[in-house]
Amino acid sequence: MTAETTGQPVLRPHAEDAFAEELSALAAADDRPRPERWKLSPWAVATYLLGGTLADGTVITPKYVGPRRIVEVAVTTLATDRALLLLGVPGTAKTWVSEHLAAAVSGDSTLIVQGTAGTAEEAIRYGWNYAQLLAKGPSREAMVAGPVMRAMSEGMIARVEELTRIPADVQDSLITILSEKTLPIPELNDEVQAVRGFNLIATANDRDKGVNELSSALRRRFNTVVLPLPASSDAEVEIVSRRVDQLGRSLHLPAAPDAIDEIRRVVTVFRELRGGVTTDGRTRVKTPSGTLSTAEAISVVTNGLALAAHFGDGVLRPADVAAGIQGAVVRDPAADSLIWQEYLETVVRERDGWSDFYRAARDAASGRPHGDAA
Amino acid sequence: MTDRPLLLGVRHHGPGSARSVHAALAARRPAVVLVEGPPEADDVVALAGDPAMSPPVALLAHAVNDTGRAGFWPLAAFSPEWVAIRWALDNGVPVRFIDLPAAHSLALRDTAESDPTEPGAAGPGTAEPRQPAPGTAEDAEDAEDAEDAETTTAADAAAEPSAVADARDDLRRDPLAALAAAAGHDDAERWWEDVVEHRSGGDDPLAPFAAVEEAMAEVRTALPTEETDRDLVREAHMRLRLREAVKEFGADAVAVVCGAWHVPALRERRTVAADRALLRGLPKVRTEITWVPWTHRRLGRAHGYGAGIESPGWYAHLFSAADRPVARWMTRVAGLLREEGFPISSAHVIEAVRLADTLAAMRGRPLAGLGETIDAVRAVMCDGAEVPLNLVIDRLVVGDVLGEVPDAAPAVPLQRDLTAQQRRLRLKPEAGGRHLDLDLRKDNDADRSRLFHRLRLLGIPWATPAAAGSTGTFREGWQVDWEPELAVRVAEAGIWGITVESAAVAKARADALAADSLAALTSLAEQCLLAGLGDALPTVMRALADRAALDTDVAALAAALPPLVRSARYGDVRSTGTEELTRVAHGLAERVCVGLPTACTGLDADGAAAMRRHVEATHAALALLDDAGLRDRWRGTLRRLARRDTVPAVLRGRAARFLLDEGVLPDDEADRLIGLELSPAVPPARAAGWIEGFLAGGGLLLVHDERLLALIDTWLGSVPADSFTDVLPLLRRSFGSFEPGVRRSVGELVRRSPGTTTGGSETAPTPGFGDRTDSGRADAALPVLRLLLGEAAAGGDPAASDPPPAPSAAPPADDPIGAPA
């Protein structure tokens, strides 16, 4: 929907552009009833997220790897007029799911409000074009509609990221929108009523400290879906390699021949440190302060691929990921680097086939003296 | 089809089937109702109409003279069989059960399982007696849509996989799953619910059953014909009973309610002679049958004689809800959550219902099922959290419903015996916990104690051990609390025997054969003694000896020893024969002595701590056994432990201390050991570990033996500053465990003689004491000491350099035999 189609390839295309083919194939194959203004039926939206093969042979890649139930409840919620709240620790693909849901349902994932501590009411409702306002006085022309208002008037899905970071009073301006489905404009003694098809997806993480808890009045307007961390190591490896592959393509990194072993290693390290125990269940390890989410694992591997492609021999080697892992693990320079050292010495050093990684991680740790970190 | 009997194929415990059965019976009004179940129950079926009878209940058939053989046929309010029985009783129509008599099925079960070991070997855990039972979701089918016909129906094996450990399942595939797969569903249970349970019947109440029959016939032809004898025999019997009824009432006046799987077989034309031939020569046992109360939880898959349904509460709701089942269900969920303090408004209920319905639509299901409602409750009412959701699942989806049986029902023999004993011992089964202090020297109290122990062995926790009002081996405290659910447990335990004692013996024997660890066996032996089950003891001891001979894990042996020794001692107190027990205990102890030194090498800190507990327990146990030869062996073992370098320091210290306390470590040897272990070359952490082990027996030693104190003091003074913080926690643990008085004395001793390195005798006196031992005054106390310690002890070294035996050498304080009788 954005106008910048200058022909220049963008760094990261929107979901609806990146997967335009899959969406149109789904739309063609989809003969189930669609809610008003939905581009696809709920079933097709779920298929778009979970992946599958259509009758005509088109393969739909999975966008979300996880329990089917979660996606079904999320899509179904959007089909009712309840808003959807995606909850989870950072890096559990909340934003990713919300983008793809919006892309599949409305064909547009760009009606987005980024929640911050400074998000003002205008960002959610509407602002004014002051030149127009001065010239013409309060009028529809002088009004600048926010994303939510546009979604309401056009019957689309609006997205609010990090809802809990938004100050409580601003959050509550959503209540009228979600319950009355209308946005009053007192200045004009007017209102914008939501047309069918409008709904809202909010994401929030339940780990951050200092967030603004939702008021129960607002909370009641949402169906809550908690996105879990990947259940098994294999599932996580699958997620990481799939995303790394996609990212690599869009960043035009040369394809790495066989990175799966390194990916497995990164995922193992992350899972062990996150869970506080080694995969064989025999050794307890300390847990660092970072979240060590799947998303971070993905970025470590992508980073490593870039290193391997540009500075190495194109093969993802332990040295390429070691520094990245250290960066992800060591958030608090004092406590976390101790934890990381301890993990290296007690777990990594003795593990069969991990000696390359151990040396690389040691080099990375010592190659960055304290001065560098400061 | 009026010249044919009405065959109602159902899924056992399917609420949809139950509704259909009721509708069909009401429409057809048969003159007799035949139900799949043991014919012996014909005599007690009238009780089902008793107003005091409330499901869930179960028919319990058990062999009269043979423990461990019994079958349960659970029935819930939503079971089609129950509905049929109630309809018949309400309408004055006779009910007959047509399955193979329990007399045969119980006898067959035993032979089929080829487990002739012990009469009681087939425990409730192992055998699912109710193999023929309604419990399994047999069946199937539905119907109103004819085009579903080939996909419908189901099968016997539906719920069996989880519920029944029966080889038959392996032979016969799971037909319901096959049908569901053919219909494109991955979950057989859910598919069944969709096509059957959730359809509220069309206009013709009989149509669903016709479709079920057709589909079942199809499945049966597709399956391998080689069914086990049991099914063929059962169906032959059903056919015979059906034929009788037809002769008596006329074909169109007969209705049969059975698992859908059997319907085609009942329709089949076979000659009477062929059926009789199948039934000829079946083994037979004498059985009794009665009604027992049951619970929803027991119907669930996860428990004992589960009937194979995970959500009895949900089924009961589906069956009892007049209309709008989902809305009513959500209202109940909201009610429960509100009671538990969750703020749930009507708006939540509305939204949850909408979400569940929409989810069902998206998943292509005709009606929101359990899965949809749970998803909706989680997303709308629980904010995505699992904790309140688990509450809903536990309390509503499964539920706490407890059935009741009228007093007129023949009591299970075990229950009769229990009631008689309760009366004799003046113990009323009443709710509301009560504390009971028993004095085992009184016959009545001793009998009570035995009864409690036996019931515990049978899994009937009416009384639980509690602290006694006073200490002493003849005192026992119990917390007594009768809960209605215990009646169900009594019924379950009824399969073990007809009296509490014989049932407990049978159960103990079966447990002994099934026990998978040595420790389990020894505590079983202990329980047998406490419960006065001398008859079970030989079996238990044989199993124990076999196990001990094979067990290579010294830790397991060591863990098994103390309860065994306790039992041997207890036996003496309770005048039970315990030679066998003592013999096994000796064998065990020998093995521990041999294996311990090797088992103690190369342990890490946690391993050493665990092993230390074993060593201590073994030491205490052997002191109780009081066998000179064994004691010598044990001392030898301790010596090897104390000297072996590869043994963790804490264990070496502990062994050295035991030897010292036993008085078998010469004084200079003790000095030498301490000096050796605390040499400067020994890493401080290791030395501290040794001290921890050495001092674990109490610090009195240090107060009385200043040489030892001086050695430790010197060592402590020589620990380098940077190591000191490492050993500090260990030391603190060692000294912190001393009694306050001892700790203070040690502190004063150390302060008084700051520089002394050896011998404290010439230093300044302890406040309140003379500066040297006054042997004259000491001698004056000797006669009394002799008296106290017994004549033999008086022969020991009079130097009395050692204090009265250190506390560690005495039996642990919690030992109930500690006080001599």
The answer to whether residue B343 neighbours chain A at the CB level (below 8 Å) is: yes
Query: In terms of pLDDT, which residue wins out, A225 or B138?
Result: A225
Q: Which residues of chain A have pLDDT under 70?
A: 1-7, 208-210, 250-251, 253-258, 282, 367-374
Angle at B413 (CA atoms; ends B407, B416), nearest 5 degrees = 55
Assess contact for B45 and B37: CB atoms under 8 A: no
For residue B376, list chain A residues with Cβ-Cβ distance below 8 A: 73
Q: Which tokens hold the place of B216?
A: 């079942």
**What pLDDT, on a 0 to 100 scale, did the predictor assign at position A23?**
92
**What pLDDT, on a 0 to 100 scale, did the predictor assign at position B33?**
92
User: Where does residue B650 fall: left (phi above 0), alpha (psi -120 to 50 degrees), or beta otherwise?
Assistant: alpha
For residue A87, list chain B residues with Cβ-Cβ distance below 8 A: 383-384
Domain boundaries, chain B: 6-308, 321-398, 413-502
Name the residue type at position B557. L
Which of A187, A210, A64 has its CA nearest to residue A127?
A187
- Cβ distance of B351 and A223 shorter than 8 Å: yes
The answer to whether residue A77 neighbours chain B at the CB level (below 8 Å) is: yes
What is the band of B229 on the pLDDT scale with cuts at 50, 70, 90? low
Instruction: Compare all CA atoms of chain A with the CA of B348 and give the residue at the minimum distance.
Output: A220
A contact test, residue of B358, B377, B380 with most A CBs within 10 A? B358
Strand segments, DSSP code E, in A25-117 are 52-53, 59-60, 83-88, 112-114
Q: Which tokens hold the place of B338?
A: 């509100």
Query: In terms of pLDDT, which residue wins out, B93 or B704?
Result: B93
Assess contact for B174 and B188: CB atoms under 8 A: yes
Q: Which tokens hold the place of B146?
A: 């004819």
For residue A69, list chain B residues with Cβ-Cβ distance below 8 A: 371, 375
Instruction: Please state, in angstroms and rounded to a whole number, the distance separating the CA atoms of residues B67 and B508.
Output: 12
C-beta atoms surrounding B402 within 10 Å? 18
Q: Which tokens hold the place of B715?
A: 């060592």
The answer to whether residue A284 neighbours chain B at the CB level (below 8 Å) is: no
The answer to whether residue A301 neighbours chain B at the CB level (below 8 Å) is: no
Q: What's the mean per-residue pLDDT of chain B?
A: 75
Lowest model confidence (mean pLDDT) among A289-293, B214-218, B227-231: B227-231
- What is the DSSP secondary-structure string of B283-295? ----EEEEEEE-B
What are the helix (H) ranges across B531-666?
537-550, 554-573, 579-599, 605-625, 628-643, 649-662
Chain A nearest CA to B591, separation (Å):
29
Strand segments, DSSP code E, in A59-193 are 59-60, 83-88, 112-114, 126-128, 143-145, 157-161, 182-185, 190-193
Lowest model confidence (mean pLDDT) among A127-131, A209-213, B285-289, B741-745: A209-213
Please determine, for residue B253, whether its predicted confidence score (pLDDT) is greater than 80. yes
For residue A76, list chain B residues with Cβ-Cβ distance below 8 A: 355, 358-359, 362
- Cβ distance of A223 and B359 shorter than 8 Å: no
3-state helix, strand, coil in chain B (%, to 5): 55, 5, 35
**What pLDDT, on a 0 to 100 scale, did the predictor assign at position B330?**
93
Chain B nearest CA to A106, separation (Å):
18
C-beta atoms surrounding B604 within 10 Å? 8
For residue A79, list chain B residues with Cβ-Cβ distance below 8 A: 358, 362
Instruction: Please state, in angstroms and rounded to a whole number, the distance separating the CA atoms of residues B790 and B299.
Output: 64
What is the band of B156 on the pLDDT scale with cuts at 50, 70, 90? very low
What is the band of B753 on the pLDDT scale with cuts at 50, 70, 90? low
For residue B380, list chain A residues with Cβ-Cβ distance below 8 A: 82, 223-224
Contacts of B115 (CB under 8 A, 6+ apart): B121, B122
Instruction: Please state, in angstroms and rounded to a whole number, the distance separating the CA atoms of residues A120 and B463.
Output: 65
As to burial, measured by CB atoms within 10 angstroms (0-12 exposed, 13-18 middle, 19+ buried), residue B577 is exposed
Please determine, for residue B328, whether its predicted confidence score (pLDDT) is greater than 70. yes
Instruction: Please state, in angstroms and rounded to a whole number, the distance separating the CA atoms of residues B614 and B155.
Output: 54
Which of B214, B193, B529, B632 has its CA nearest to residue B371?
B193
- Cβ distance of B362 and A79 shorter than 8 Å: yes
For residue A216, list chain B residues with Cβ-Cβ distance below 8 A: 343
Q: Which of A73, A79, A219 sits opposite B379 (nearest CB)?
A: A73
Secondary element (H or E) of residue B229: helix B229-249
Question: What is the percentage of chain B residues whose pLDDT exceeds 70?
Answer: 77
Chain B nearest CA to A334, separation (Å):
22
Interface of B with A in 344-363 (CB under 8 A): 345, 347-348, 351, 354-355, 358-359, 362-363
Please determine, for residue B338, whether its predicted confidence score (pLDDT) is greater than 60. yes
Q: Which of B347, B358, B379 sits opposite A79 (nearest CB)?
A: B358
Assess contact for B482 and B460: CB atoms under 8 A: no
The answer to whether residue A79 neighbours chain B at the CB level (below 8 Å) is: yes
For residue A48, list chain B residues with Cβ-Cβ distance below 8 A: none
Instruction: Please state, in angstroms and rounded to a whole number, the distance separating the CA atoms of residues A227 and A93.
Output: 8
User: What sign does the CA torsion over B333, B335, B340, B342 have?
Assistant: positive
For residue B375, list chain A residues with Cβ-Cβ distance below 8 A: 69, 72-73
Name the residue type at position B43. D
- Cβ distance of B379 and A42 shorter than 8 Å: no
The answer to whether residue A73 neighbours chain B at the CB level (below 8 Å) is: yes
What is the band of B332 on the pLDDT scale with cuts at 50, 70, 90? very high
**What pLDDT, on a 0 to 100 scale, did the predictor assign at position B111?**
52
Please determine, for residue B164, whether its predicted confidence score (pLDDT) is greater than 50. no
Chain B nearest CA to A42, separation (Å):
7
Q: Which of B347, B355, B385 sits opposite A223 (nearest CB)?
A: B355
**What pLDDT, on a 0 to 100 scale, did the predictor assign at position B419?**
84
**What pLDDT, on a 0 to 100 scale, did the predictor assign at position B142?**
33
Instruction: Please state, in angstroms and rounded to a whole number, the distance separating the CA atoms of residues B230 and B136.
Output: 15
User: Where does residue A132 fall: left (phi above 0), alpha (psi -120 to 50 degrees), or beta otherwise?
Assistant: alpha
Please determine, for residue B140, whether its predicted confidence score (pLDDT) is greater than 80. no
Instruction: Please state, in angstroms and rounded to a whole number, the distance separating the CA atoms of residues B649 and B685.
Output: 9
Query: In terms of pLDDT, which residue wins out, B669 or B6?
Result: B6
Maximum distance among all alpha carbons in chain B?
A: 117
Chain A nearest CA to B600, separation (Å):
20
Instruction: Compare all CA atoms of chain A with the CA of B362 and give the residue at the minimum distance.
Output: A43
What is the band of B578 on the pLDDT scale with cuts at 50, 70, 90? low
What integer is the mean pLDDT of B81-96? 91
What is the band of B186 on the pLDDT scale with cuts at 50, 70, 90? low
Interface of B with A in 252-281 (CB under 8 A): none
- Cβ distance of A219 and B384 shorter than 8 Å: no
**What pLDDT, on a 0 to 100 scale, did the predictor assign at position B148?**
33
For residue B358, list chain A residues with Cβ-Cβ distance below 8 A: 42, 76, 79-80
Instruction: Please state, in angstroms and rounded to a whole number, the distance separating the CA atoms of residues A35 and A42.
Output: 8
Secondary element (H or E) of residue B60: strand B57-63
Instruction: Please state, in angstroms and rounded to a whole number, the distance separating the CA atoms of residues B62 and B287.
Output: 5
Please determine, for residue B482, whether its predicted confidence score (pLDDT) is greater than 50. yes
B contact test, residue of A31, A213, A223 with most B CBs within 10 A? A223
- Angle (deg, nearest 10), helices B207-222 and B175-182: 100
pTM over 0.80: no
Interface of A with B in 213-272 (CB under 8 A): 216, 219-220, 223-226
User: B96 φ, ψ to 5°?
Assistant: -130, 145
A contact test, residue of B372, B375, B604, B606 with most A CBs within 10 A? B375
User: B460 φ, ψ to 5°?
Assistant: -120, 90
Instruction: Please state, in angstroms and rounded to a whole number, the distance separating the CA atoms of residues B655 and B635.
Output: 9
Lowest model confidence (mean pLDDT) among A126-135, A251-260, B481-490, B589-598: A251-260
Distances (CA, A) of B284 to A15, A259, B115, B289, B671: 72, 68, 17, 15, 77
What integer is the mean pLDDT of B631-636? 86
The answer to whether residue A75 neighbours chain B at the CB level (below 8 Å) is: yes
Q: Which of B343, B345, B359 sits opposite A76 (nearest CB)?
A: B359
**What pLDDT, on a 0 to 100 scale, did the predictor assign at position A210?**
60
Chain B nearest CA to A73, separation (Å):
7
Please determine, for residue B220, whether its predicted confidence score (pLDDT) is greater than 80. no
How many interchain CB pairs under 8 A, A with B? 54
The answer to whether residue A310 neighbours chain B at the CB level (below 8 Å) is: no
Cα A143 to chain centroid distance, Å, stands at 31
Tokens 């010596």 correspond to: B639
Distances (CA, A) of B193 to A194, B189, B197, B315: 39, 6, 5, 10
**Pair type for strands B95-97 and A59-60:** unpaired
Q: Which of A72, A216, A224 sits opposite B362 (nearest CB)?
A: A72
Q: Which of A43, A79, A224 sits opposite B384 (nearest CB)?
A: A224
Please determine, for residue B365, whether its predicted confidence score (pLDDT) is greater than 80. no
Q: Which of B347, B358, B379 sits opposite A225 (nearest CB)?
A: B379
Chain B nearest CA to A163, separation (Å):
15
**What pLDDT, on a 0 to 100 scale, did the predictor assign at position B102?**
85
Which of B94, B97, B92, B67 has its CA nearest to residue B81?
B97
